[in-house]
């Protein structure tokens, strides 16, 4: 009788844990979709007003790093409060604004709109593949985290150097590596949610958003370099 009760408790507990994980994953997907709206608005505003056009070189880098890390710190501090979602959406608006400079450059090509849609479709494809893999892979991927973090730091340093060097070859290399690293990060972050390693949907959304925006930006850079058609 005692064994039966323990079995029922285990079953009930497992069901509750699974339900909680599914809830976090569902909320993360909804918030991630919502976060794209301020991103698009920020990018549109930046292109329409040209507000980021003069933010090249060191100035653009300082504004981006200061704003990004400031927002991420604020999100971490507010993730368990009602302010968490608005702060996250403010961050995605800021990221759209920062992305507008590249988008404006791509729109300068005759096929610029097609390149942007291709980059968006490619990013959606990568996300779909990684989301599918995260639901079928049984292996614990938590060990990937430290290696991916090192890779992301190396990319950031390389990107900062290339801002001042202005090398097209460096830009291509960084973009290719970024697509690989952040696609893997996407799988890692999704698997963390599926396995219950991440229980806060705001933190989960922030991680996935950064993966998505980096893959999109890198794809767009490569498409602009190789596929841009000038008038």
Between residues 196 and 71, the one the model is more confident about: 71
Which pLDDT band holds residue 15 (cuts at 50, 70, 90)?
A: low
Mean pLDDT of the chain: 87
Look at residue 52 and tell me whether its pLDDT is greater than 60: yes
How close are the terminal C-alpha atoms of the chain, in Å?
80
Summarize pLDDT for 27-45 with one digit per residue, the tens.
999 999 999 999 999 999 9
pLDDT tens, residue by residue, 56-115: 667 778 888 899 999 999 999 999 999 999 999 999 999 999 999 999 999 989 898 999
**Entry pTM:** 0.87
Angle, to 10 degrees, between the axis of helix 2-49 and the axis of helix 201-227? 40
């Amino acid at each position: 009788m005692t064994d039966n009760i323990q079995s029922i408790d285990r079953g009930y507990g497992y069901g509750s844990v699974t339900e909680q994980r599914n809830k976090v994953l569902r909320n993360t997907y909804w918030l991630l979709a919502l976060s794209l709206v301020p991103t698009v608005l920020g990018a549109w505003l930046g292109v329409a007003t040209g507000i980021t056009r003069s933010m090249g070189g060191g100035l653009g880098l300082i504004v981006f790093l200061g704003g990004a890390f400031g927002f991420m710190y604020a999100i971490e501090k507010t993730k368990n409060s009602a302010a968490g979602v608005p702060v996250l959406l403010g961050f995605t608006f800021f990221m759209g604004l920062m992305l507008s400079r590249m988008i404006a450059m791509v729109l300068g090509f005759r096929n610029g709109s097609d390149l942007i849609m291709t980059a968006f479709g490619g990013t959606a494809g990568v996300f779909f593949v990684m989301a599918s893999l995260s639901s079928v892979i049984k292996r614990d991927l938590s060990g990937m985290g430290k290696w991916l973090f090192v890779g992301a730091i190396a990319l950031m340093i390389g990107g900062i150097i290339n801002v001042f060097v202005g090398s097209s070859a460096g830009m291509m290399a960084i973009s290719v590596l970024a697509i690989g690293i952040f696609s893997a990060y996407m799988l890692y972050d999704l698997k963390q949610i599926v396995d219950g390693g991440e229980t806060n949907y705001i933190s989960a959304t922030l991680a996935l958003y950064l993966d998505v925006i980096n893959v999109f930006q890198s794809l767009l850079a490569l498409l602009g370099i190789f596929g841009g058609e000038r008038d």
